[in-house]
Amino acid sequence: MWLPSPLERASDQFREDLAADPYLKYILLVSAVLATFWIWHRLPNFATRDERWRVVDSMEVAGFVADDGLTLEALQDGTSYWRVFGPTLYLYGLVALPAIVLTFAIGDGHVFSDLLGALGTDFYAHWQAIPAWLWWATVLPARLVNALLAVGCVYLLYRIGTKLRDRATGRLAALLLALTWGLIFLGHEAGEDVPALFCILLAFYLAIRYVETGSRRLFLWGSAVGGLAIAFKPTAGITAVMLGMAYLLHARRADDPVRALARPGVLIGGPVVALAVMYLAFPSVVLNGHEVLLDRLDRVANEKTNSHGWLGRPAWWWYVRGTVNGLGWPLAIACLGGVVAAVGGLGRRVLPPALARLRGQSSADSDPSLETDGMVLALAGIVVMTAVFSTWAYFRTHHLLPMFPLAIVLVALALRWLADSPRTVGAVDAHRLFQGVTAVLLVTTAIYAGVGTVGYATQPRDQAVSWLIEHGGENATVETYSGDSQEAAVPHGWTIYRPTDGTRGMVLANWMRLIEHRCPDYVVLNYQRSMLWLAPENHSQLADRWARPGVPTFLESLLSANGAYPYEVAERFGPQPPFRDGGEPFDPTWDMVRAGIYPRTIQYGDPQDFGVYGYAVVLERTGACDGSN
């Protein structure tokens, strides 16, 4: 089969690895199963808000094409519609293209125009403007592509570990990444985090190969991939750090370091290629000019300076919570140990030769190994990202994702050092200790990831929607108070009463009290915002910000068995917020610690995700409505 030369070499390497390592295919299979288990969750709704926008991007362009035809002006307007479109438009646009073409072919292209207008109403109208089958036909393939890239990340880490030491190291690193909950849950949604990670790991691998060979071609390819990674996610700027370090590390290996440093084709060509790819990766920039890119960079630089009303916590709290949630406590502790071991290993490898040179002596260990240089690159990435995050007011597990494989490869190296050590620890042989530690780490990480993954089959909002579809009639109606349809547990296609569609100038509590005028068959109360309206004043910044006079009284009456409204609780789904059971808000320290014990505690870290954030109460109408109330 004909492939461009780089892809052909990559294909040959992949086949060679599969033939040489009988365990690799099983590791990739484990990764694929975990990344795709119940991957249709929440459809035809969205896993997160970000997923909606990544998939909708191409539909918005299609809306302008439907209105104005396939013209340059339509593409310009479509790619500058209210925000900057990045490389996810190319990726998920190509994935959605067959469904979009089919929609036009059957004469339903007007739904994309309707989508543009519906956003002016609210998110529910925006969601309902597209038929359910089209959401399935675009979101599910996008998630599958994302899951495929997650498996690709596992393979790339195998390659990195193998290149730095041996296949046993690559296997261990790949298996640990395959079992990493942070990669698994991000593989279950269409976003930019996993594509960015794939590019980061590929740039890391190419940087290692450049250190080894000094090939200008490899450096330029690494720069191109790094530029694409930054276009996906600005925090992927660590690729520039790793490539810059690789440039210096290769010069240290060269017979003539000065000449190795004086390579304008690499030193200038690399940044030029990276910037060119970054520019081309933004269709908004290509079609509308560089000003929109500057706006995007300015927003990224300033958007993390406040907590957006979720939680006011120090940076170290966000760092620990996001890390332990993405890895689980056992793997998080192992990663810390891997970083410490790598720093200590570098000290033992680098300091003695340096001191020997200062004394004018030669050293047998003066020739750097590729393993040592790989450790330097991984540590550099971790240190730079940590320094960046220390300046942010809040961040979440998905922001920390790029550090996970960098730390995991250090864990794999440290464990392999232990396996090959001739020493004993007490009465225990080092190799037996390696086997025990590795077994415990793999089992605990697998349990943590397994519990989180299986939870996709029993998500509260999915269960609530299934219950409504099963019990509701053909023309059933439902009322809900979530501000965003992504957070709501309501079926697509139903008549949905919600305050975001307009309260006609009334105070929110007064509009809600007129529920018997609307007389919905069902009412669904979600954590977001219904439960937060019932939260105590000390619960969170968000509960305080969203407080509305009269709303808690209405909701308590609605939930009461002897309330004033003809509704009663039919079902509750998911873990109930502690404050609804007389409990106090979690202590910040316990809130941080538990995130690494229960995988489905947080995802992004705000009320659109796991744990109590998925809580839903379904109320069913039990009598006739009295419209006079």
For 546-555, how does the pLDDT look when each residue is reduced to its tens digit (9 = 90+)? 778 889 999 9
Average pLDDT over residues 44-56: 91
Buried b (16+ CB within 10 A) or exposed e, 353-370: beeeeeeeeeeeeeebeb
Average pLDDT over residues 381-387: 95
Q: Is residue 80 part of a domain?
A: no
Q: What percent of the chain has pLDDT over 70?
A: 90
For 396-448, how does the pLDDT look when each residue is reduced to its tens digit (9 = 90+)? 888 999 999 999 999 999 999 988 887 776 677 888 888 899 999 999 999 99
Average pLDDT over residues 174-181: 97
Q: Which residue has the higher pLDDT, 291 or 332?
A: 332
**Angle, nearest 10°, between helix axes 216-232 and 87-105?**
70
Q: Which residue has the higher pLDDT, 484 or 143?
A: 143
- State the residue range of the domain holding 565: 460-577+613-621
For 57-109, how does the pLDDT look when each residue is reduced to its tens digit (9 = 90+)? 999 999 999 988 888 888 888 888 877 678 999 999 999 999 999 999 999 99
Q: Is residue 466 part of a domain?
A: yes
Q: Which residue has the higher pLDDT, 584 or 1?
A: 584
Q: Which residue has the higher pLDDT, 256 or 152?
A: 152
State the CATH number of the domain containing residue 537. Answer: 3.40.50
Task: Kindly indicate the confidence band of residue 1, based on its pLDDT and cuts at 50, 70 and 90.
Answer: very low
Buried b (16+ CB within 10 A) or exposed e, 276-292: ebbeebbbbbbbbeeeb
The predicted pLDDT at position 15 comes to: 94
What amino acid occupies position 278?
Answer: M
Task: Kindly indicate the confidence band of residue 144, based on its pLDDT and cuts at 50, 70 and 90.
Answer: very high
For 522-555, how does the pLDDT look when each residue is reduced to its tens digit (9 = 90+)? 999 998 888 888 887 767 677 777 778 889 999 9
Q: Is 124 within 8 Å of 496 (Cβ atoms)? A: yes
Looking at the structure of the chain, the number of domains it has is 1
Cα distance between residue 456 and residue 587, in whole Å: 27
Q: Are strands 428-429 and 424-425 parallel, antiparallel or unpaired?
A: antiparallel
Q: What is the model's pTM?
A: 0.93
Q: Is residue 568 part of a domain?
A: yes
For 106-140, how does the pLDDT look when each residue is reduced to its tens digit (9 = 90+)? 999 999 999 998 888 889 999 999 999 999 999 99
For 574-629, how does the pLDDT look when each residue is reduced to its tens digit (9 = 90+)? 888 877 776 666 677 888 888 899 888 874 445 446 777 888 999 999 988 876 55
Q: Is residue 514 part of a domain?
A: yes
Q: What is the mean pLDDT of the chain?
A: 88
Cα distance between residue 462 and residue 184, in whole Å: 19
Q: Is residue 512 part of a domain?
A: yes
Q: Is residue 507 part of a domain?
A: yes
The predicted pLDDT at position 607 comes to: 45
Q: Is residue 524 part of a domain?
A: yes
Least confident interval from 279-293, 492-506, 595-609: 595-609
Q: Is residue 24 part of a domain?
A: no
What amino acid occupies position 5?
Answer: S
| C-beta neighbour count of 207 within 10 angstroms | 31
The predicted pLDDT at position 93 comes to: 93
The predicted pLDDT at position 366 comes to: 55
Burial (0-12, 13-18, 19+ Cβ within 10 Å), 348:
exposed
